[in-house]
Structure 1
Amino acid sequence: MTEKGSPRADASALARSIADEVPHVLHVDDDRAFLELAETFLSRHGLIASTAESTTEARERLASSAVDCIVCDYDMPEENGVEFLESVRADRPNLPFVLFTGKGSEEVASEAISAGVTDYLQKETGTEQWRVLANRVENLVERRRSERLAEYSFRAMETAREGISLIDVDGRFVYVNRAYADFVGYDREDLVGRHWEELYQDADLEDVYDEVLPAVRQDGEWEGEHVYLRADGSTIPVDHALSYCEEGVLVCLIRAGG
């Protein structure tokens, strides 16, 4: 069971809040009629669309509101789309940016890729282009949100007071946070690659193999108390929680026991 206020509960709440957000796309183009048409169709596809007729206006919107993706034309009066992309990348290196342009050429595409464009899409006639653009934006935003969640999760694990470790299908540690290493008295680098059996006294291994691991496989998680064997040979009681990821990685959380 996940306790309210624990790292697992906080991470779950954060994941839900990010996943539930409707993507907000900022469309930059100096053609007002084209912007209005795009805003109508993108909204129909479930996106929040705002517009800017210049890169100066676009920067003002970026500074005042949360934007999940930029869609920008190439031919713009103040600076072209790639030049704007370069300035965006200086402050927001991971913000999805789609160059949506009628100027299709290998030279422009190569220039955009070198500047770090996320996607490149050529303008077409008809309404199908809006469905394609909306799908591209949704996929890019979803991918970036997944990356953000991974970043947040890693930061949460690194700073958690609970000891957190990840154990691969062979039973070896592939990650331990600082708190986990402190609990068991190892340097993090020394613990990674070791088998979890090294943290148990021989008399306790039978219980882990016969009771704990089968329970985790059956129910997906297990909680209880164990006595860990520290690097210096001393022991420490811990409250222990285990759960499986789909890939077969075992997630282990520990805190000081009674």
Structure 2
Amino acid sequence: MKVLGITRPGPADVMTLMNAVCGAAAVLVVLSYAARPPADLAESGVRAATLLLLAGTIFDSLDGAFARGGRGTALGGMLDSLADALTFGFAPAVLLAQLGFVTASGPGRVLVVLGFLAYVSGALLRLADFSSSRQDDPAFTGLPSPLAAAAVVSLAFLTTSPLVIGIGLAALGLMMVSRLSYPKLRGPLVAAALAAWIGGILGTLGAFDMRIFAAVILLLIGLTPVLPALMPRERVHV
């Protein structure tokens, strides 16, 4: 007897769903700090939400591996975009916006709201564009949403300024729909991403000053699209 009234999810779909669960849980973490002292959100709240978002990136990687192994279903593409929209679009923006509201006055709140809307809109457009027409491109056009989420979380460790948060969210939203080129994770980049993930976990758990690590992540995300232009070109000898 068929129990589910939908296409039966496969192992890859379960991984994607777990990605979404991590994002939803991160939103709940932020909401749970609404009635607590602002310093609690800036410290333990940010760390708890960050750990959930980092877990989401693992499930996001696993669903692709499962799908390539033939363990996906027709649900995969749509479910993946929805999960990424929640975990890398909505959840980190909620976290950073709530931090901005802690110290924001009237104009500051407006700036944070505008930045929040720009970021979420950019993430949705970026994901829809990728899913509809760019999955086979050799590189990512626009800042990938997981990297945008990493930048947002990094900002959460560095500031609660409404001005910085509003501008930062808006800038990242624009970067996601820009023509900036980011390489896909292949070869050495996989090892670099794994090292960054491990560093993020350790820093979030207090192994070292997370502010330094966050600043490095922001710098790398900002420099990645322009590094090819800065590299010396090989001379062609005739």
Q: Structure 1 or 2: larger helix share?
A: 2
Higher relative contact order (CA 8 A, sep 6+): 2
Query: Which of the five TM-score ranges fits, normalised by the shorter chain?
Result: under 0.3
When Rg is computed on C-alpha atoms for both structures, the one with the higher figure is: 1
Structure with the largest fraction of strand? 1
